[in-house]
Structure 1
Amino acid sequence: MRTVLDVVGVCLLAAVLLLVAFACRRRLISRDGGTFDCSLQLAEKDHGRGWALGLARYVGDELQWFRVFSLAWWPKLTVNRRQLQGVQTRRPIGNEPLVTYAGHVIVDAELKDKTVHFAMTEEALTGVLAWMESAPPGTTATYR
């Protein structure tokens, strides 16, 4: 019986330490400001599949995206605003409202070589569009 309790205790301690590590990582990523909750569709699948919860932040000309449930200190995706060809917004369809944060809109960002799908609040979208528009002259991003 004591062995079972020891195993359960170790598992609970590991779970608590993991949650603390996630919280500390998020705090460190967010400390410089310019961060917002943002989901990303990692795989091109049906609407509502392949989404991961995350956190995005602005760093100069880059928008960096980090997974929420990861211990990696580097971003999973980095988008340079010079790569952006255009942005379209739409409401979540299919199962997307179930797998993204409540109240988010879907942003289809066309890059030079692919399309990336983000989910974010209207306020965060306003910030992203302002960030895109503040790009130096000569960039060709379009907004719809």
Structure 2
Amino acid sequence: MGEHLAEITGWVLVAVVLCVVVLFGAMTLRRWLLELGGGTVECSLRDLGGTGVWRLGIGRYQGDELQWHQIFGFRRRPRMVIQRRGLVVLGRRDPSDGEAEALTGDAAIIEVRSGDSKVELAMSLAALTGFLAWLESSPPGWPVDLPSGA
């Protein structure tokens, strides 16, 4: 009886380890596919109308959209899409002490409004420079509202 129980326990552990490896592999493959076409940046997001919790993710520039994908997940579709047209940058700040633990070391935070939704994006200074350049390079006639010093 004891040998049989040990054998079953061993197979259960093997199955659990295989499931973890498959899930990790699927998340790694998803991230690789997202980054394959380029135009991606690590970007944390906090929805100011929702829970207010920082979520780690990847921002992907697709034409006039910034598509935000949660890093730990399996969806191919973005969790949030931020349209460049009509996007307003409300301000920029450094992370507070409590936020700094959850974000990358050189993160800067910008608050943006797109339509009715307000979000904060945290990204490296180099990624922020790219984001602002993407905003400023919008087609002629599109409003871009950047505060001074952003």
Give TM-score scaled by structure 2 length: 0.88
CA deviations 1:62-91 (Å, max 9, x no partner) are: 000000100000000001100302242110
One-letter identity of the residue aligned with 1:101: T
| Alignment RMSD | 1.7
> In the superposition, relative to structure 1, how do residues 44 and 102 fare at CA in structure 2: closer, same or farther (>3 Å)?
farther
Q: Which runs of 5+ in 1 are unaligned?
A: none
* Corresponding residue to 2:22 among 14, 17, 33: 17
Compare CA radii of gyration and give the structure with the larger one: 2
2:136 matched to 1:133? yes
* Distance in 1 of aligned mates of 2:48 and 2:139: 31
2:122 match: 119
2:40 match: 35
CA deviations 1:76-108 (Å, max 9, x no partner) are: 000110030224211001421122222211111
2:96 match: 93
1:78 match: 81
* Distance in 1 of aligned mates of 2:120 and 2:50: 11
> In the superposition, relative to structure 1, how do residues 52 and 97 fare at CA in structure 2: closer, same or farther (>3 Å)?
same
Q: Which runs of 5+ in 2 are unaligned?
A: 1-5
Aligned length: 142
2:72 match: 69
> In the superposition, relative to structure 1, how do residues 9 and 73 fare at CA in structure 2: closer, same or farther (>3 Å)?
same
* Distance in 1 of aligned mates of 2:90 and 2:143: 11
For residue 101 of structure 2, give the secondary structure of its aligned residue in structure 1.
helix
Confirm or deny: 8 A CA contact 2:47 2:118 kept in the other structure. no
For residue 22 of structure 2, give the secondary structure of its aligned residue in structure 1.
helix
- Larger mean Cα displacement after TM superposition, 70-79 or 103-112: 103-112
1:26 match: 31
* Corresponding residue to 1:7 among 9, 12, 16: 12
What is the CA-CA distance between 1:45 and the residue it aligns to? 7.1
* Distance in 2 of aligned mates of 1:45 and 1:77: 13
User: Which 4+ residue blocks in structure 1 deviate beyond 4 angstroms?
Assistant: 43-46
Confirm or deny: 8 A CA contact 1:43 1:51 kept in the other structure. no
2:60 match: 57
